[in-house]
Amino acid sequence: MSADTKPGRSGLPHGSSELPAVVVDSTNIELKDAEGFVGDQVSKKAFRALIEEWRERMRPFGPDPLGDRASETISKKRLDEYLIDGSPLASGIVFSAVEDFAQAMARLVRQFLRQEGWRDTSHIVVGGGLRDSLVGKLAIARAAAILRGGGLDIVIEPIRNHPDEAGLIGSVHLAPAWIFSGYDSLVAVDIGGSNIRAGIVQTNLRKAPDLSRAEVWRSEIWRHVDDEPEPSRDEAVQRLIEILADLIRRAERADLALAPFIGIGCPGRIEPDGTIDRGGQNLPGDWEGEDFKLPGRILDAIPRIGDHETMVVMHNDAVVQGLSEIPHLRDVPRWGILTVGTGLGNARFSSRKRPGASD
């Protein structure tokens, strides 16, 4: 019998709202307004569209201050350089796009806070590729100032870990800490609309029992969006399995005590049986529906790690990235995450009371 039809070997459901340190109150909300999905207004594509809009306004009056490159191909590093050391007009274009994007983000936060699952949120971290640039950090800071200046008492800040690593580190909070007792590392996967990243996360439990010192030991990335033709779902899964097998071999050769656990962050609404109900439209091939369960495919390919049966737990990718913040936000009752990348990911959490904590 295929692992696709077996109950989860870990005994932990996928996409659970009840996690060891938090309750997941809301995830993968898809808000709409007159212009369509609200999340489309706060995405990597939306920011590039704002850059292009401001360039178009400048072109009737002389040479393009940003040169001849298409707006969608200008790197984040180059945009940062324009902002800091560019000509006054080049810097002004980037700054104007940042301001417009920050205004859109502030509007989006207000809309989220009106949703039942987001009420009483006092703290929001912003992850995804936006955070990995000065331009992105400035947009986040400006959105925070707009909201505070408008009378909203809320903290908005960039996610602490690099977004490429936060989506892996968060996997240590998908299962009770006792599962990792006797081990020093685990396998983690972060699946995105542009790339798939997998890595070995060291828990460093001896240094910090609250997992605040968890870090990525090694990771591999595959940018499936760059492949021509676009890979099929089965091709993507096979490539992921090959990456995981290689990482496991590397960890074993390095004498890491690897837990028989694989944590996965994946876009979409994740069902307890490991299917993706909706939200996987940016992934290569068709990942949604009852005929496909990624955890089962991985269990079939990697049934054991070391001397024990493999456990696989999958959750929404924004949830997993947000979980990396748990050690820093344990005393915040209700907090959320927005991930800005190919699309907009989102999740809201309520912190569980720690054993022995005072009221």
DSSP secondary structure letter of residue 239: H
| Residue that finishes a domain, picked among 298, 317, 336 | 317
Regarding whether 262 and 153 lie in a shared domain, the answer is: no
Which helix (DSSP H) or strand (DSSP E) does residue 296 occupy? helix 294-301
Average pLDDT for residues 30-41, to the nearest whole number? 77
Regarding whether 203 and 107 lie in a shared domain, the answer is: no
The enclosing domain of 312 has a CATH number of: 3.30.420.40
Q: Measured between alpha carbons, how far is 41 from 53 in angstroms, rounded to an integer?
A: 14
pLDDT confidence tier of residue 193, bands split at 50, 70 and 90: confident
Task: Provide the residue range defining the domain that includes 210.
Answer: 166-317
152 in a structural domain: yes
23 in a structural domain: no
- What is residue 343's predicted lDDT score, i.e. its pLDDT? 81
Regarding whether 170 and 154 lie in a shared domain, the answer is: no
132 in a structural domain: yes
Across the chain, how many H-helices and E-strands are there? 9, 14
pLDDT digits (tens, 9 = 90+) for 213-249: 999 999 999 998 888 888 999 999 999 999 999 999 9
Regarding whether 127 and 195 lie in a shared domain, the answer is: no
- What is residue 358's predicted lDDT score, i.e. its pLDDT? 52
How many structural domains does the chain have?
A: 2
pLDDT confidence tier of residue 284, bands split at 50, 70 and 90: confident
pLDDT digits (tens, 9 = 90+) for 113-159: 999 999 999 999 999 888 889 999 999 999 999 999 999 999 999 99
pLDDT over threshold 60, residue 357: no
Q: What is the pTM of this model?
A: 0.91
Regarding whether 308 and 284 lie in a shared domain, the answer is: yes
Regarding whether 273 and 207 lie in a shared domain, the answer is: yes
Query: Between 126 and 286, where is the model more confident?
Result: 126
Regarding whether 142 and 192 lie in a shared domain, the answer is: no
333 in a structural domain: no
Q: Measured between alpha carbons, how far is 324 from 84 in angstroms, rounded to an integer?
A: 31
322 in a structural domain: no
Query: Between 193 and 323, where is the model more confident?
Result: 323
Regarding whether 109 and 251 lie in a shared domain, the answer is: no
Nearest to residue 342, comparing CAs of 170, 213, 224? 224
pLDDT digits (tens, 9 = 90+) for 306-353: 999 999 999 999 999 999 999 999 999 999 999 998 788 999 999 998
Q: What is the mean pLDDT of the chain?
A: 91
Regarding whether 302 and 199 lie in a shared domain, the answer is: yes
- What is residue 312's predicted lDDT score, i.e. its pLDDT? 97
350 in a structural domain: no
Regarding whether 148 and 238 lie in a shared domain, the answer is: no
Torsion on CA atoms 46, 49, 54, 56, rounded to nearest 10: -160
Q: Measured between alpha carbons, how far is 275 from 291 in angstroms, rounded to an integer?
A: 8
- What is residue 7's predicted lDDT score, i.e. its pLDDT? 42
297 in a structural domain: yes
Choose the weakest-confidence range: 60-69, 183-192, 287-296.
287-296
Extract the tokens encoding 200. Answer: 């070995």
Extract the tokens encoding 6. Answer: 């077996």
Nearest to residue 29, comparing CAs of 117, 124, 91? 117
7 in a structural domain: no
| Residue that finishes a domain, picked among 103, 125, 158 | 158
Query: Between 340 and 9, where is the model more confident?
Result: 340
Regarding whether 220 and 199 lie in a shared domain, the answer is: yes
| Residue that finishes a domain, picked among 284, 301, 317 | 317
Regarding whether 205 and 144 lie in a shared domain, the answer is: no
